[in-house]
């Protein structure tokens, strides 16, 4: 395959422009056609037959010794005969990249049968007997094939194929081929391409299949014949307007493509399919269909697997593509195919393309495919409007939130509202966040765990990944359900110690990042969860402003920190539009904060093995129980307050008073029996509160380094 520099040298702008589509990209087929065209230009060059060749099929044979076996036929006289010159009837040599166009190999990907071209690829390490059979079949099987014979009858050079057939009918000739081949190989097995050279005139020498139009046309017809007979169709073809070029042509209906769409078994793409009439539903011209099939190399290079699904993230240029843009796109596709760096197409494009090209011209086709069995797939999340903006900006916003805002960073002697940890990817703001987003690991860390080997097309992790890649919104209801399931599972897992506070902090950071105004990646089905979709305003709190607030407040950081966090979190703040729902959510959060605060006190000061955090796990919190849990928690808080006061004078007020007073206002005075907040919403913000409360303290100077949570 040509390097980007070689591609530029071989195809000047005016010549390259002639090879490009006349219309902008408007469908997946258009992208596949463009990819196939670029692959053909980069491997087999231009010309009528170039798209039909399959150079990758035998690329592993290049420069590997006895990898090309040539049956040499002399048709320069009245009677056909085998060659009698210095090379003899069989010439065994090495196959090289320079011979791609000469041997003109067209692979037929089937367990049995012969390749479309007269050139045939042997099985792995075939013995001399089997190779001799393949060599003889160039005359006895390929030349006599019905499609090849029909092509010969309609071609001026048809006599060349007739000469092969005549030779193949002579047993003595076949014996000579076998003996010569075994002698040339010396009894050794090998993997090789087997082909034919023909001499038509003594003065011109022996010519390769790629130099004889009848061989190329016969190869073309054999390949085309397979495009109209898939799934037991007799002839799924007809005259129609080609959906790729827009020109009238003979079209085929069941041709293959790199993603296996629009085949006979894809009933969701072909409702009520009549295989014979498939060309009416999905007409694609013969040559265009073959070019689309050649897109496979680049399509696969821009594909990756995650959650048991195959994600397609195919770059293309918005609008009508120019020669200059084509070179940029080819550079990206070439790197995807040749570089083994475990990067997704998202990361590679972000690193290779300049900002203007990325934002103004580069687009992506995005889809995820869930395979169930051979040729049966579920396709979902399909869009042509994927942009690098969405995953790249999400990674940037997430990192900014964790690194730079007051929600995760303290500007006082007190802790930040939520914890961070160097060993938790979503709590570090590291430079691998784009990889996390683009591979789906971003959601793997926060959603309920599943067996990827038994994943299904309804997997919400895949839906969320495709949404982020394509810029579609994710349902808040889905996020909360997944978050709570993961929290509950970890709290009930006997192998995991303690409350999953880092998990909850990671989930909340993700929720806030998705809600940022630049991305607007959250949606909801009703007004109840609308505040959750709004962007928080934590970045307003700089060190200077918080210092001023603490001074005004009498210098008590916990109270100011709590008030600031609540008011800068839209889902918790006093909401004039529907204050009752935010009051309920805020009540659940404050209850969790008190449980977390007192639970930590019990664990570290009272050295209790079972704390309020264990006594009131997330799965136990419901609207019907929350008032009782609040009463018990406040009661326990007052008990510890009295104990502290008995130990000595100077203990001011109530323990965790900044939480207790707000909690009385939101839960004990209004009656939670009438709350409308659903259970997932209630439980998540309770869990967030527990995380907040456990992280609400003033670190001492001799505190040990925080240990990694067992997860």
- Encode pLDDT of 173-204 as tens digits: 999 999 999 999 998 999 999 999 999 998 88
Does pLDDT of 134 surpass 50?
A: yes
Instruction: With a cut of 70, say whether residue 621 has pLDDT above it.
Output: yes
Answer for the pair 298, 15: CB distance below 8 angstroms, yes or no: no
Inform me whether the pLDDT recorded for 35 exceeds 90: yes
| pLDDT band (50, 70, 90) for residue 704 | very low
φ/ψ of residue 450, rounded to 5: -140, 160
CA distances from 279 to 142, 230, 252, 606, 683 (A): 28, 12, 5, 77, 54
Average pLDDT over residues 9-17: 93
Between 636 and 711, name the one with better pLDDT: 636
pLDDT band of 711, cuts 50, 70, 90: very low
In angstroms, rounded to a whole number, what is the distance separating the alpha carbons of residues 564 and 541? Answer: 9
**Which pLDDT value is given to residue 331?**
95
The span from the CA of 19 to the CA of 11, in Å, is: 10
Query: If you count DSSP H runs as helices and E runs as strands, how many of each does the chain have, helices first?
Result: 28, 15
The pLDDT score that the predictor gives to residue 231 is 59
pLDDT in tens, 401-451: 999 999 999 878 889 999 999 889 899 988 899 999 999 999 999 999 988
> pLDDT tens digits for 196-243?
999 999 888 999 999 999 999 999 999 988 877 765 667 777 888 888
Q: Let me know: does 523 contact 530? Beta carbons within 8 Å.
A: no
157 or 275, higher pLDDT:
157
Structure tokens at 648: 């000595």
Closest by CA position to 425, among listed 387, 399, 451: 399
Neighbouring-strand partners of residue 523 = 475
Nearest to 423 by CA among 480, 515, 539, 503: 503
Identify each DSSP E strand in 188-293 by its residue range: 193-199, 206-207, 237-241, 248-252, 284-285
Is the pLDDT confidence value at 300 over 60? Answer: yes
Query: Domain locations in the chain?
Result: 1-43+242-387, 55-221, 538-694
Instruction: Provide the mean pLDDT of the chain.
Output: 87
Q: Which residue has the tokens 């849990």?
A: 629
Residue 163 neighbours by CB distance under 10 Å:
20
Average pLDDT over residues 514-524: 93
CA–CA separation, 148 vs 108, rounded Å?
14
Is a pLDDT exceeding 60 seen at residue 701? Answer: no
Q: What average pLDDT does the segment 18-32 reach?
A: 90
Of 133-147, 207-221, 320-334, 527-541, the least confident:
527-541
What is the pLDDT at residue 544?
Answer: 53
Check: CB of residue 490 under 8 Å from CB of residue 711: yes
| CA count, 13 A, side-chain hemisphere, 172 | 2
Q: pLDDT tens digits, residue range 367-383?
A: 888 776 655 677 777 88
For residue 142, give the nearest of 125, 167, 178 by alpha carbon.
Answer: 167
Report the candidate in 318, 281, 462 with the shortest Cα–Cα distance to residue 30.
318
Categorize the per-residue pLDDT at 36 as very low, low, confident or very high, splitting at 50, 70 and 90: very high
> What pLDDT shows up at residue 341?
78
Tell me the C-alpha distance between 593 and 417, whole Å.
10
What SS3 state is found at 151?
helix
Q: Strand 193-199 and strand 120-121: pairing?
A: antiparallel
What values do phi and psi take at 39, rounded to 5?
-65, -40
**297 near 330, Cβ under 8 Å?**
no
Token pair for residue 550?
Answer: 């603490």
| CA 400 – CA 408 distance, rounded (Å) | 10
Contact 518, 512 (CB under 8 A): no
Distances (CA, A) of 101 to 40, 54, 55, 525: 11, 10, 9, 58
Helix (H) or strand (E) holding 33: helix 28-43
Q: What is the pLDDT of residue 685?
A: 97
Q: For 543-581, write each residue's pLDDT tens digit.
A: 455 555 544 444 568 899 999 999 999 999 986 655 678
Q: What is the pLDDT of residue 476?
A: 96
Could you give the CA distance from residue 206 to residue 201 in angstroms, rounded to a whole number? Answer: 8
Q: What is the pLDDT of residue 602?
A: 92
Q: What's the Rg (C-alpha) of the chain?
A: 35
User: Given this model, what pLDDT does residue 553 score?
Assistant: 46
pLDDT over threshold 60, residue 709: no
């Amino acid at each position: 395959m040509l390097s980007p520099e070689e591609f530029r040298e071989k195809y000047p702008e005016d010549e390259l422009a002639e090879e490009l589509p006349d219309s902008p990209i408007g469908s997946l087929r258009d992208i596949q056609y463009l990819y196939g065209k670029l692959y053909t230009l980069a491997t087999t060059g231009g010309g009528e037959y170039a798209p039909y060749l399959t150079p990758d099929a035998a690329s592993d044979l290049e420069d590997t010794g006895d990898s090309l076996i040539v049956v040499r036929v002399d048709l320069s006289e009245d009677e056909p005969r085998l060659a009698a010159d210095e090379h003899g009837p069989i010439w065994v040599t090495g196959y090289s990249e320079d011979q791609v166009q000469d041997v003109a190999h067209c692979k037929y990907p089937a367990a049995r049968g012969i390749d479309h071209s007269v050139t045939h690829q042997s099985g792995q390490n075939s013995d001399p007997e089997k190779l001799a059979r393949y060599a003889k079949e160039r005359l006895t099987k390929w030349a006599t094939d019905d499609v090849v014979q029909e092509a010969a009858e309609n071609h001026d050079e048809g006599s060349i194929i007739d000469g092969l057939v005549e030779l193949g009918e002579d047993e003595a000739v076949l014996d000579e081929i076998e003996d010569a081949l075994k002698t040339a190989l010396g009894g050794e097995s090998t993997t090789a391409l087997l082909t034919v050279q023909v001499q038509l005139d003594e003065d011109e020498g022996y010519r390769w299949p790629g130099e004889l139009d009848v061989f190329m046309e016969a190869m073309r017809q054999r390949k085309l014949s397979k495009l109209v007979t898939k799934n037991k169709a007799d002839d799924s073809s007809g005259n129609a307007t080609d959906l790729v070029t827009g020109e009238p042509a003979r079209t085929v209906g069941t041709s293959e493509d790199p993603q296996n769409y629009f085949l006979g078994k894809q009933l969701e793409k072909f409702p009520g399919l009549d295989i014979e009439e498939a060309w009416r539903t999905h007409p694609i011209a013969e040559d265009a269909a073959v070019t689309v099939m050649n897109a496979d190399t680049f399509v696969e290079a821009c594909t990756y697997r995650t959650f048991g699904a195959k994600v397609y993230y195919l770059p293309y240029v918005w609008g009508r593509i120019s020669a200059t843009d084509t070179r940029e796109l080819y550079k990206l596709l070439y790197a995807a195919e040749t570089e083994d760096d475990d990067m997704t197409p998202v990361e590679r494009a972000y690193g290779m393309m300049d900002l203007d090209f990325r934002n103004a011209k580069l687009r992506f086709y995005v889809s995820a495919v869930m395979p169930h069995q051979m040729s049966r797939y579920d396709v979902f999340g399909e869009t042509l409007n994927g942009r690098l903006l969405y995953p790249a900006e999400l990674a940037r916003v997430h990192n900014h939130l964790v690194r730079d805002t007051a929600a995760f960073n303290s500007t006082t002697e007190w802790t930040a509202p939520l914890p961070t940890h160097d060993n938790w990817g979503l709590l570090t703001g590291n430079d691998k966040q784009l990889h996390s987003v683009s591979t789906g690991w971003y959601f793997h860390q926060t959603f309920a765990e599943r067996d990827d080997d038994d994943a299904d097309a309804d997997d919400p992790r895949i839906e969320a990944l495709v949404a982020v890649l394509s810029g579609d919104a994710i349902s808040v209801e889905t996020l909360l359900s997944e978050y709570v399931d993961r929290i509950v599972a970890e709290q009930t897992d006997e192998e995991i110690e303690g409350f999953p506070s880092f998990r909850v902090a990671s989930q909340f950071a993700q929720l806030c990042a998705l809600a940022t105004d630049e991305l607007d990646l959250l949606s909801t089905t009703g007004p109840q969860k609308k505040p959750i979709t709004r962007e928080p305003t934590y970045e307003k709190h700089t060190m200077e402003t918080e210092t001023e607030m603490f001074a005004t407040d009498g210098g008590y950081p916990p109270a100011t920190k709590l008030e600031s966090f609540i008011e800068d979190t839209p889902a918790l703040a006093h909401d004039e539009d529907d204050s009752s729902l935010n009051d309920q959510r805020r009540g659940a959060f404050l209850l969790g904060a008190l449980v977390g605060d007192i639970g930590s006190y019990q664990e570290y000061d009272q050295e209790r093995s079972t704390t309020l955090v264990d006594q009131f796990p997330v799965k136990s919190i419901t609207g019907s129980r929350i008032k009782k849990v609040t009463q018990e928690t406040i009661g326990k808080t007052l008990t510890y307050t009295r104990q502290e006061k008995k130990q000595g004078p100077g203990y001011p007020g109530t323990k965790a008073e900044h939480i207790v007073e707000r909690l009385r206002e939101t839960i004990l005075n209004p009656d939670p029996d009438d709350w409308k907040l659903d259970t997932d919403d209630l439980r998540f913000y309770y869990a967030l509160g527990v995380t907040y409360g456990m992280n609400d303290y003033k670190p001492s100077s001799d505190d040990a380094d925080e240990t990694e949570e067992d997860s």
